[in-house]
């Protein structure tokens, strides 16, 4: 994946390595940063993202928690009020549902409720699962639910470079941040500068410039959208690909500038459509454009994620279905081109571990 | 027998709470306080007895029935009353109201309107205190209804696991809104349950402010010196007024005046008044009355937030 950093060493890291490095560097910089969550100190270390941190910083700053997501989220909030900066890690986003009272009623609201007196600087990291039988309760992508709530920030970086910069920004931020990771991105690589850097919230990444259509891909769908854009070159369609990175706040300015140029927008969410990030983006664009644009969206099928591979395949958009949709938006519905490749080899070849 | 100065402190503390809440009850029908109030009249001994044992730097967490905790810990009375009036001079700039009081300068963390919620937050504060060696003791107040919540159990477990400097104060007033405790659990065994988690627990009967003060004082001292981990005190008390609102609620039929009578007969404010010299009582009464008058005048005369405040404090 191309990034615009200027690191001449071109050091390559995986996504988990980038997340780990961001965490380690911030823990070195600020001794108020703590890492907590079920399994953060176990041998698998959350796909390696927390590996070695407990040895480095001690059991008081890096600790396993009881299986008490609600209580531990509340604990993180209270610790944050006293000056700590907790990073609470969940190996699946589905588990965050156990903590909704603390996240929505407390973390999101305390600053406002108390007239600015009580900021809640916490980071909640969680993984969206996919493939190899993750099934109904290990595959959910709930970023849209959190985008709905004022007071929360939501970021979903799709490559190691953005992951490091967005995590550092999240740790330093004085607001609660939902930091959304995707299991299938764990093997992705990009060059990542060694020195710490923070990405600004509300700044999208234009992954590829184009003139015929704007394709926005959220979280893992940024990868599939980029692939689709490469397929589309075969039929002469020039796609501009945007990864929002930051979902709340959303970089509407970059999106609107792109749509003004292309006149077409396809939003591909890594989630359900109804009341989702795709609905929000399309509505915001529709409200703000001068002349009519062609709008479409894709995402999870409106069903519970099935476990069996044959059905699971149909649940997700992929580079092929995205490319077909984009081509029809540009060339008309009668266009019957289908790219040879489906995309998502990391999805079809994924064999765990969970 | 406690120090006479402690008796006076406890008397003043309870009288301030009773006086402010009685005034709220009296003026509520004017509709100047346009939000729900959960009065703690009858439960003053708990907040006063507990908070007298704390240092200014110690931090308390409470609930939507939190006027007594806020005032007893030293929260600014003017800012509290202004908050109830929705004024910008309120402790939360009018955005929180009665259920969301805060005064961090005086160790009052923000209170919550969702039962059980601040218990976990208090445990987190205790974790930070221990990690950073702040020497701060955390006290969290909650009702007997909160022990039904999962977060209560998660919080006690973690506090015991990490041996945190925290006191759990269960104000057992016998009801979760209108539901008696034995309609919600198999037996009246809150302390027994807490001990299983590894939390030192004891019950204090009779809403006795002196007993509360002495026994919580011992727990706080043991925690502060590091000789003991978390404690839970189940303090038996009684809510004299309705669950929410300024009046009584015997018309609802879920409880009777006879049930309340022993608690009003043993009113802790009356009890302490008899132990203090008349001239001192007269002086304290006058000072408290003047303070309350001033607080309501301050609230009356304060401005409401400007319209732009609607959009302030969403992100920091």
SS3 B22: helix
Q: Establish if A153 touches chain B: CB-CB under 8 angstroms.
A: yes
SS3 B243: coil
- In this complex, do A116 and B316 lie within 8 Å of one another by their Cβ atoms? yes
Helices (H), chain A: 15-29, 53-57, 69-81, 100, 110-113, 143-147, 160-172, 221-232, 252-262, 277-288, 309-315, 319-331, 345-348
CA-to-CA distance for B75 and B197, rounded, in angstroms? 32
* pLDDT-derived band at A6, boundaries 50, 70, 90: low
The answer to whether residue B203 is domain-embedded is yes
Q: Establish if A83 touches chain B: CB-CB under 8 angstroms.
A: yes
- In this complex, do B95 and A114 lie within 8 Å of one another by their Cβ atoms? yes
CB atoms within 10 A of CB B251: 8
- CATH number of the domain at B196, please: 3.40.50.970
DSSP-derived letter for residue B305 is P
Q: What is the pLDDT of residue A68?
A: 98
Residues 6+ apart with CB under 8 A from B297: none
Residues 6+ apart with CB under 8 A from B263: B42, B207, B237, B238, B240
> DSSP of A205-266, one letter per residue?
EEEE--SSEEEEE-TTHHHHHHHHHHHHGGGT--EEEEE-SEEETT-HHHHHHHHHHHSEEE
Dihedrals phi, psi of A241, to nearest 5 degrees: -115, 125
B313 interaction partners in chain A (CB closer than 8 Å): 111-112, 115-116
Cβ atoms of residues A90 and A38 within 8 Å? yes
Q: Establish if B157 touches chain A: CB-CB under 8 angstroms.
A: yes
Q: What is the pLDDT of residue A354?
A: 72
Q: Which is higher by pLDDT, A73 or A352?
A: A73
Q: What is the pLDDT of residue B236?
A: 98
The two structure tokens encoding residue A168: 């550092």
Which residue stretches of chain B have pLDDT < 50?
A: none
CA-to-CA distance for A214 and A206, rounded, in angstroms? 10
CA-to-CA distance for A343 and A340, rounded, in angstroms? 9
A145-192 pLDDT, tens digit per residue, is: 999 999 999 999 999 999 999 999 999 999 999 999 999 999 999 999
| Confidence check: pLDDT of A4 > 70 | no
A111 interaction partners in chain B (CB closer than 8 Å): 313-316
- Which residues form the domain of B232? 4-300
The answer to whether residue B246 is domain-embedded is yes
- In this complex, do A101 and B123 lie within 8 Å of one another by their Cβ atoms? no
CB atoms within 10 A of CB A52: 13
Show which residues of A are catalytic.
Answer: 69, 138
The number of CA neighbours under 13 Å toward the Cβ of B246 is 16
| Confidence check: pLDDT of A8 > 80 | no
CA-to-CA distance for A196 and B190, rounded, in angstroms? 49
Tell the burial category of B30 from Cβ atoms under 10 Å away from its Cβ (0-12, 13-18, 19+): exposed
* pLDDT-derived band at A133, boundaries 50, 70, 90: confident
| Confidence check: pLDDT of A1 > 70 | no
The two structure tokens encoding residue A62: 């890096």
What is the reported pTM?
A: 0.96
Domain covering A12-191 assigned CATH 2.60.40.2700 in the classification: no
The answer to whether residue B289 is domain-embedded is yes
Dihedrals phi, psi of A246, to nearest 5 degrees: -100, 120
- In this complex, do A74 and B151 lie within 8 Å of one another by their Cβ atoms? yes
* CA–CA distances in Å: residue A195 to residues A26, A157, B298: 11, 19, 53
Average pLDDT over residues A31-40: 98
Residues 6+ apart with CB under 8 A from B204: B211, B212, B215, B233, B234, B235, B236
Using CB atoms, pick whichever of B91, B117, B313 lies closest to residue A101.
B117
CB atoms within 10 A of CB B255: 16
Average pLDDT over residues A121-127: 98
Q: What is the pLDDT of residue A114?
A: 98
- Strands of the sheet with B200-204, listed across from one edge: B59-61, B138-143, B166-172, B231-236, B200-204
Domain covering A205-348 assigned CATH 3.40.50.80 in the classification: no
The answer to whether residue B313 is domain-embedded is no
A223-256 pLDDT, tens digit per residue, is: 999 999 999 999 999 999 999 999 999 999 999 9
CA-to-CA distance for A323 and A319, rounded, in angstroms? 6
Helix (H) or strand (E) holding A295: strand A294-298
ipTM: 0.97
A252-290 pLDDT, tens digit per residue, is: 999 999 999 999 999 999 999 999 999 999 999 999 998
CA-to-CA distance for A314 and A321, rounded, in angstroms? 10
Task: Map out the domains of chain A as residue ranges.
Answer: 12-191, 205-348
Residue found by looking up tokens 């007196």 in the block: A117
- In this complex, do B104 and A118 lie within 8 Å of one another by their Cβ atoms? yes
How many independent structural domains does chain B possess? Answer: 1
B199 interaction partners in chain A (CB closer than 8 Å): none
The answer to whether residue B309 is domain-embedded is no
CA-to-CA distance for A264 and A50, rounded, in angstroms? 41
CA-to-CA distance for B315 and A149, rounded, in angstroms? 12
SS (H, E, C) B106-167: HCECCCECCCCHHHHHHHHHHHHHHHCCCCCCEEEEEEHHHHHCHHHHHHHHHHHHCCCCEE
- In this complex, do A81 and B125 lie within 8 Å of one another by their Cβ atoms? yes
A119 interaction partners in chain B (CB closer than 8 Å): 316
For testing contact with chain B, the best of A69, A114, A124, A172 (most B CBs within 10 A): A114
* pLDDT-derived band at A349, boundaries 50, 70, 90: confident
| Confidence check: pLDDT of A49 > 50 | yes
- Strands of the sheet with A33-37, listed across from one edge: A62-63, A33-37, A85-90, A123-128, A177-182, A153-155, A246-248
Q: What is the pLDDT of residue A350?
A: 76
Using CB atoms, pick whichever of B95, B151, B313 lies closest to residue A71.
B151
Please count the residues of chain A. 354
The mean predicted confidence, pLDDT, of chain A is: 95
SS3 A35: strand
- In this complex, do B110 and A114 lie within 8 Å of one another by their Cβ atoms? yes
Q: What is the pLDDT of residue A2?
A: 45
CA-to-CA distance for A70 and B155, rounded, in angstroms? 9
């Amino acid at each position: 994946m191309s990034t615009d950093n200027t690191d001449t060493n071109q050091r390559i890291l995986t996504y988990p390595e980038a997340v780990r490095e961001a965490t380690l560097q911030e823990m070195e910089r600020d001794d108020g940063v703590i890492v907590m969550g079920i399994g953060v100190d176990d041998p698998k270390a959350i796909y390696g993202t927390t590996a070695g941190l407990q040895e480095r910083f001690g059991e008081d700053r890096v600790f396993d928690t009881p299986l008490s997501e609600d209580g531990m989220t509340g604990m993180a909030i209270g610790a944050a009020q006293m000056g700590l900066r907790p990073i609470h890690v969940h190996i699946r986003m589905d588990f965050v549902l156990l903590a909704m009272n603390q996240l929505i009623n407390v973390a999101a609201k305390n600053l406002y409720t108390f007239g600015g007196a009580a900021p809640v600087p916490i980071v909640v990291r969680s993984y969206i699962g996919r493939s190899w039988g993750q099934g109904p309760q290990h595959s959910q992508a709930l970023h849209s639910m959190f985008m709905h709530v004022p007071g929360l920030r939501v970021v979903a970086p799709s490559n190691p470079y953005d992951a490091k910069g967005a995590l550092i920004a999240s740790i330093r931020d004085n607001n609660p941040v939902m930091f959304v990771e995707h299991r299938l991105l764990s093997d992705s690589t990009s060059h990542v500068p060694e020195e710490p850097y923070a990405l600004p919230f509300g700044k999208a990444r234009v992954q590829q410039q184009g003139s015929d259509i704007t394709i926005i891909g959220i979280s893992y769908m940024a990868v599939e959208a980029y692939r689709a854009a490469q397929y589309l070159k075969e039929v002469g369609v020039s796609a501009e690909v945007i990864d929002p990175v930051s979902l709340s706040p959303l970089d509407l300015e970059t999106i609107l500038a792109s749509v003004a140029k292309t006149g077409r927008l396809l939003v591909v969410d890594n989630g359900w459509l109804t009341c989702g990030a795709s609905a929000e983006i399309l509505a915001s664009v529709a409200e703000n454009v001068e002349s009519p644009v062609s709008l479409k969206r894709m995402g999870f099928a409106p069903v519970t994620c099935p476990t069996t591979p044959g059905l699971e395949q149909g649940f997700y958009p992929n580079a092929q279905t995205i490319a077909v949709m984009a081509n029809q938006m540009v060339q008309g519905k009668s266009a019957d081109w289908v790219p040879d490749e489906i995309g998502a080899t990391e999805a079809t070849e994924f064999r765990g571990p969970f | 027998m406690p120090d006479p100065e402690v008796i006076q402190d406890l008397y003043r503390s309870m009288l301030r709470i009773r006086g402010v809440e009685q005034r709220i009850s009296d003026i509520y029908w004017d509709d100047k306080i346009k939000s729900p109030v959960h009065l703690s009249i009858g439960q003053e001994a708990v907040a006063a007895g507990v908070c007298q044992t704390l240092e200014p730097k110690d931090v308390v967490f409470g609930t939507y029935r939190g006027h007594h905790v806020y005032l007893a810990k030293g929260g600014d009375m003017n800012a509290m009353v202004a908050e109830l009036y929705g004024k910008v001079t309120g402790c939360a700039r009018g955005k929180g109201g009665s259920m969301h009081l805060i005064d961090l300068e005086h160790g009052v963390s923000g209170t919550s309107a969702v039962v059980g919620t601040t218990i976990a937050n208090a445990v987190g504060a205790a974790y930070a205190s221990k990690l950073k060696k702040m020497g701060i003791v955390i006290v969290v107040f909650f009702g007997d209804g909160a022990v039904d919540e999962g977060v209560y159990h998660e919080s006690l477990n973690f506090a015991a696991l990490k041996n945190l400097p925290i006191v759990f104060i269960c104000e057992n007033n016998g009801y979760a809104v209108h539901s008696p405790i034995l309609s919600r659990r198999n037996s009246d065994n809150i302390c027994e349950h807490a001990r299983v988690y590894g939390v030192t627990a004891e019950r204090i009967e009779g809403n006795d402010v002196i007993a509360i003060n002495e026994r919580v004082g011992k727990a706080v001292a043991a925690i502060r010196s590091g000789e003991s981990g978390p404690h839970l005190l189940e303090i038996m008390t009684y809510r004299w007024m309705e669950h929410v609102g300024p009046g009584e609620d015997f018309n609802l039929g879920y409880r009777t005046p006879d049930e309340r009578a022993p608690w009003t007969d043993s009113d802790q404010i009356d009890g302490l008044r008899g132990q203090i010299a008349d001239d001192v009582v007269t002086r304290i009464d006058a000072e408290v009355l003047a303070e309350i008058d001033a607080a309501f005048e301050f609230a009356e005369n304060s401005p409401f937030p400007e319209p732009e405040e609607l959009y302030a404090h969403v992100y920091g």
